Structure formats: structure tokens, C-alpha cells
Amino acid sequence: MGKLFISVLNMSITASYVILIVIAIRLLLKKAPKVISYALWGVVAFRLLIPFSFKSVFSLIPRKTNVVPISNGIIYQQSLQIDNGIRVLDSFTSEPLHASNAGASISPLQNFIEFGAYIWMLGIIILLVYSFVSILVLKRQLKAARLIENNIFESRSLQTPFVLGVIRPKIYLPVGLNEDERDYILLHEQIHIRRKDHIIKMLAFFVLCIHWFNPLVWVAYLIMSIDMELSCDESVLKEMNEEIKKPYANSLLSLAAGRHILSGSPIAFGEGNVKRRIINVLNYKKPAFWVTLVSVMLAVTIGIGLLANPYDKKFNENSNSDNDSIARAQTETTASGSQESVGSLAADKGNIIENFSEIDNYIKDYTPDVSYEEDLELGQRAYIIHGTYDLNGDGEADEINAVLKADNEASSLIEVNGMKVTLELYNPTGLIKIIDLDSRDNYTEVAVFDDGPSGDPTITFLRYDGRKLYTIGSIDRYALMDGEGKFISWFHLANNFKPQFFSAWGEFKNNEYVITNHDVEQYIGKTYEVDGTGFFAPLEFNPEVYFEHVVWDSENLREFKATKIKLLDIHIRPDDRTLNWFYVELPDGEKGLLYFWIGD
């Protein structure tokens, strides 16, 4: 349940941003038909229910919608701590939280998350039970209701009209309405039924139950209900003409004293926020065509932008430049004046650490056949893959079949010569490659590419040894490897520094990724070139607790272009050896904490 809870948390965080945008857009649509504002809440519902979406350069979702001070690795580590290291994958990013596998070591925060998951489920149960009980109580009150015609009932125990039911919704009216009032109210309720508002309200309540812990979702639910009523009122005025505004407003006023007993029931809902509705009715004027057109275009544009996810950045778009930059770093001399304190540039070993290079360099020139339904969106596709390749070095081609699905459940599978292994994938790309992880053995491995939950791509490796097929493990997509079974995770690299250095390397042992710490003290006191966009927090002292001074604020953003800095100290996150926080001295003598986005 912890895995499901964390998935809901991630959706809720992203949806919170969308809710705030929709609330702001509503202010711009004051003169537009209220049905446009009402429709925008569908985007919020999508973000609260669907953990994936299509990607677009026009996305309005920032890459960091859920930056939190609690890191993924602190909460969950996907394997037991072995030797002097822990597993790399999924413990570095401070982006969305990931859940652990069944054998993971237990940390206090992990216990907290598991406990929170049970509290979350308890909250859902309480809300659903409350709603169910309120419906039973309401039905008991309506036993004496009198059928007037078709699906219309009248009851003396009611003071406000409402709709009850899903498949065959019924309209209940209070006794004592005059003929005009009844006509207005009936039309209002019939428009609700015609637009399926009674079903939408029920689904909205269900979403609220799932995200009950998020106050912004409660706000969204209330405002959506208001927009539903306002847009329905406007539909009544359109159908009956604007001359009925005053009598229609009077009918609303006469019902304003009615007790709103249905607020907890998703299936039965009455007419709330009467004051707001009366004001809207009295001020209603049919909007000009151009106002409606511009409003629809704005809403559609904003809606698509909020539905789409942003494209992922390449991990090295800011950290690596061309070979000319390296040559410049080797030959450039130290500037005079205050720059003299920076010292000479550290010996440059290039962008590749010793014998390590990009994973792509070890991928075989072979691509299996891939088929899928092109009409489906990326997150809905099921990739069917078939190929043959000698995986165990016996000289015979092995038959490879796979079905990859984006559901974060164990429904994806890899099959080699009839032996199957299930996988949990977030956003598979349909890409499967053959790779040689260790040139010293006879095996070549299957590599399954996954874009991850929020732009954190990973690769899962599987090995077939002639007798069985099994998972070796997973690593981040932009790790380096040496072709002899060793890796350096991107999160262990000082990517924006030239020359690069690292804090740990790892290898797979017994289906676990075990890291070995690398001494970073040797890099302190030397001079490096820094490229890319980073954050710099000015500090005259070297902080003992670096995270207290980390502020993800645009005011701290700085652009570095082959900027020489002196590295005074390195702060490594102790739980996973993430290398990202540096106490440095700039060329002008200013000192402070330098750090970069991680997790993209």
C-alpha cells in the first residue's frame, strides 16, 4: 500500500500546481460563460487520477513541481545495505517519492510512510462510510415523497431541491413552490441530469476521497461545485430568455433558507452558495461571440498545457561541452588580481572518468522488432517485442519476447526461450537493447529502457544463463560503465565540473547493486571549471548542515561559463553518496554553497 500511497502523493503534488493555475485562470474568465471554467476542472481531475501523460514543449508543468526537502533515498532504499555501500537507483532524486521493493531495509521515514498509507486509507473509508450513511438517512426521509410525474417527486420534509440517483436520477422538490418557481427549478435540475452533472459530482467526490489529505483538493471540489451551479443557471437563462432573471433570482432567494443536508453525499446534491448564484443571475448578459471564442481558445490552450508533461532534459546539457572547452581548460592560465586565490586548474582527465564511458558505448548493434497501436497515447501503449540473439554464448540464438506496459505493476514481462520474468515499469519506451555488461564473461544481457515516473529514466538488466532468466538490477539511464561490471551513477558524478570527479562506484552482486565509496577529499583545494546553470548561496562560513542553506529560488540562480572556482569542501548526502553540494570560492573571492538540480 505504501507504493500506491506514494503514487497518489506524487499526483496530488502535481495537481496542486494545476489547481492554483485553474483558480487563477478563472479570474481571467469572469466575463466568459461559466461552463468554460467548469470544464477546466476536468484537467485537475485528470492530474489527480492519471499518473502519466503525453509530453509537449508547450507544457505548463514545471520540471520541479514537487521539490521537497525529504529525499527519495532517505525514505526508501530499494535494497539492504551491503558492505560499505547501498543501492544507487531511486534513492538519489529529490523529485517524486518511490516505493521500495519487498526486501528493503526499514528506515524510520519508511515506517512513517507506511503508517501514513494506513491513515490515508482510513480517511478514505471514513469519507465513503459517511457518504453512504448520509444517503441511507436521506432515503429514509424521502419514503413519504409523492410522485408528481415521470422522475419528479415532492416531499414535505425538504426545503431545497436536489437530484438523487445515478442510473435513473430522480428530482426531489420541496412542497409549496408556485408554478413559475417550479418551472425554473425543474429546468435547472433537468439540465443537471442532461449534462450528467450528478455523475460528475459523484466522481469528483470519489477523487476528493482519494486526496482528502490535500486542502487544495477540497478547495477545488468546492469551487468546481460552484462553477457547476453557475453554469447550470446560465443554461436556464439561455433556454428561457434573460427576462426571467429577477423571478429566477427570487426563486433562488426563497430557497436560500433551506438546510443543505446533502453536502456529504456524492450521489445526491442540492443547490449551494445561493448568494453567489443570485448575483451571477442578476448580472448575467449573453457574452459577445468574440469573448466566448477567445475564452474557449484560452481555456483549450491552458488545458493542453496543464495536461502535458514537460520534455526531459538531457543529464549533461549543462555539464558537458565540446573538446575545445576541454582544451581551453587545460591551457588557460590563472587570471591576476582576486582570481589568483583560485589557483591553477586541476589536472584534466576529460569528461570520462578513467576507464568509464557512456552506457550506449556497450550496446550491441541489434534492435528487435517492436509493434504497438500507434493511435494510443504513450502511457496507454502495450509494446509487443520479438527478437533473437545469443545471450549465453553457446553459439545458438535465443528467442526473446516481451510485453511492456506503463502501469507500475508487475504486468510487463520478458521471455527468453519460454522462461518469463515480470517487471514493474512506469513509462516504458518500447526500447529493448542487447548490452555486454562484462566483457570477461560469455553473457550478453537484455536492457529494458524505462522513462521513469517523472523524467528519471532507468535501465533494467536481465541475464539468461542457459538455464534460467533473472533480473540483475537497475541503474539510472545516464550512468557510466567500464565494460567489466562496474558503474558510476550520474548521481555520483560532479557533472558540471571539469575535470569531473565522483563519490562512489558500484557493481551488481547477488541481484543487488552494491556501491563502494570513493575518496573525495583528494579533490578539495583544487581549481575546476564549472559550466551550466546552478544555484549559489553566498556564505562566509562552511556550513556543517548544508541543507539548511539550500534554497531552490530563482534569485540564487547563476549561469556559469567555464568559470574557474576553487573547491573548498564537498558535502555528500550520507545515505546515498549523492554528489551535488559544494562549498566554493568564486573568481572574485566570494564564497558560498554551489549546487544544481538533480533528478531530471
338 with 361, same domain: the answer is: no
Tell how far CA 143 is from the center of its chain.
47
Q: What is the largest CA-CA distance in the chain?
A: 95
Residue burial 582-596, b: 16+ Cβ < 10 Å; e: rest: bbbbbbeeebbbbbb
Whether the Cβ atoms of residue 428 and residue 450 lie closer than 8 Å to each other: yes
Alpha carbon distance 542, 536 (integer Å)? 13
Query: Per the structure block, which three cell numbers stand in for 114?
Result: 507506511
Whether the Cβ atoms of residue 487 and residue 506 lie closer than 8 Å to each other: yes
263 with 335, same domain: the answer is: no
How does DSSP classify residue 489? -
pLDDT-wise least confident of 74-83, 165-174, 201-210, 394-403: 74-83
Query: Can you tell me the mean pLDDT for 144-153?
Result: 84
Peptide bond into 499 cis (omega under 30): yes
Query: Can you tell me the mean pLDDT for 169-194?
Result: 82
Instruction: Please check whether residue 486 lies inside any domain of the structure.
Output: no
Given pLDDT bands bounded at 50, 70 and 90, which one contains residue 427? Answer: confident
Domains held by the chain: number: 3
23 with 139, same domain: the answer is: yes
Provide CB contacts within 8 A for 566, sequence distance 6+.
341, 342, 343, 525, 526, 527, 584, 585
How high is the pLDDT of residue 83? 34
Instruction: Please check whether residue 313 lies inside any domain of the structure.
Output: no
Q: What confidence tens digit (pLDDT) does each residue in 519-558 have?
A: 899 999 999 999 999 999 999 999 888 888 888 888 889 9
Given pLDDT bands bounded at 50, 70 and 90, which one contains residue 386? Answer: very high
Instruction: Please check whether residue 315 lies inside any domain of the structure.
Output: no
547 with 454, same domain: the answer is: no
523 with 451, same domain: the answer is: no
Query: Can you tell me the mean pLDDT for 101-120?
Result: 66
554 with 414, same domain: the answer is: no
How does DSSP classify residue 359? G
461 with 561, same domain: the answer is: no
Over the chain, what is the mean pLDDT?
79
Query: Can you tell me the mean pLDDT for 263-282?
Result: 62
Provide CB contacts within 8 A for 45, sequence distance 6+.
203, 204, 207
Given pLDDT bands bounded at 50, 70 and 90, which one contains residue 337? Answer: very low
Is residue 140 scored above 90 in pLDDT? no
Alpha carbon distance 488, 491 (integer Å)? 8
CA angle 401, 404, 406 (to 5 degrees): 175
Given pLDDT bands bounded at 50, 70 and 90, which one contains residue 34? Answer: confident
Of 412, 413, 408, the closest CA to residue 426 belongs to 408
Query: Per the structure block, which three cell numbers stand in for 365?
Result: 548493434
346 with 438, same domain: the answer is: no
148 with 224, same domain: the answer is: yes
Cβ neighbourhood burial of 275 (10 Å; 0-12, 13-18, 19+): exposed
How high is the pLDDT of residue 435? 95
Alpha carbon distance 149, 481 (integer Å)? 76
Instruction: Please check whether residue 314 lies inside any domain of the structure.
Output: no
Alpha carbon distance 110, 115 (integer Å)? 9
How does DSSP classify residue 89? T
Alpha carbon distance 47, 10 (integer Å)? 10
Instruction: Please check whether residue 508 lies inside any domain of the structure.
Output: no
95 with 229, same domain: the answer is: yes
Most confident of 96-105, 213-222, 237-246: 213-222
Residue with the larger pLDDT of the pair 255 and 204: 204
Dihedral of alpha carbons 336, 339, 340, 346, sign: negative
Query: Per the structure block, which three cell numbers stand in for 256?
Result: 436560500
**φ, ψ at 498 (rounded to 5°):** -130, 120
129 with 55, same domain: the answer is: yes
How high is the pLDDT of residue 266? 56
- Containing H/E element for 463? strand 458-464
Task: Give the total residue count for the chain.
Answer: 600
Query: Per the structure block, which three cell numbers stand in for 220?
Result: 477545488
Most confident of 345-349, 350-354, 543-547, 556-560: 556-560
Query: Per the structure block, which three cell numbers stand in for 83?
Result: 558492505
Cβ neighbourhood burial of 246 (10 Å; 0-12, 13-18, 19+): exposed
How high is the pLDDT of residue 336? 36
- Containing H/E element for 132? helix 108-141
Dihedral of alpha carbons 320, 326, 330, 336, sign: negative
Is residue 240 scored above 50 in pLDDT? yes
Q: What confidence tens digit (pLDDT) does each residue in 583-592 have?
A: 999 999 999 9
Alpha carbon distance 379, 52 (integer Å)? 6
Query: Can you tell me the mean pLDDT for 442-463?
Result: 88
What DSSP string runs through 250-314?
Answer: HHHHHTTTS--TTTT-SSSEE---HHHHHHHHHH--PPPHHHHHHHHHHHHHHHHHHHSBPPPPP
Instruction: Please check whether residue 207 lies inside any domain of the structure.
Output: yes
* Region of residue 93 (phi > 0: left; psi between -120 and 50: alpha; otherwise: beta): beta
* Region of residue 385 (phi > 0: left; psi between -120 and 50: alpha; otherwise: beta): beta
36 with 113, same domain: the answer is: yes
Is residue 443 scored above 60 in pLDDT? yes
Alpha carbon separation from 441 to 88, 391, 445 (Å, rounded): 24, 11, 11
Alpha helices in 284-443 (DSSP H): 289-307, 323-331
Residue with the larger pLDDT of the pair 417 and 97: 417
271, 304, 337: which is the final residue of a domain?
Answer: 304
Alpha carbon distance 452, 93 (integer Å)? 12
How high is the pLDDT of residue 114? 80
How does DSSP classify residue 556? G
pLDDT-wise least confident of 243-252, 408-417, 458-467: 243-252
Is residue 18 scored above 90 in pLDDT? yes
Query: Can you tell me the mean pLDDT for 56-66?
Result: 72
How high is the pLDDT of residue 385? 94
pTM metric for this prediction: 0.49
For residue 444, give its domain range: 357-481
Given pLDDT bands bounded at 50, 70 and 90, which one contains residue 271? Answer: low
How high is the pLDDT of residue 120? 92
How high is the pLDDT of residue 163? 84
pLDDT-wise least confident of 115-119, 201-205, 249-253, 573-577: 249-253
Instruction: Please check whether residue 310 lies inside any domain of the structure.
Output: no
Alpha carbon distance 252, 236 (integer Å)? 13
Provide CB contacts within 8 A for 243, sequence distance 6+.
none
Instruction: Please check whether residue 185 lies inside any domain of the structure.
Output: yes
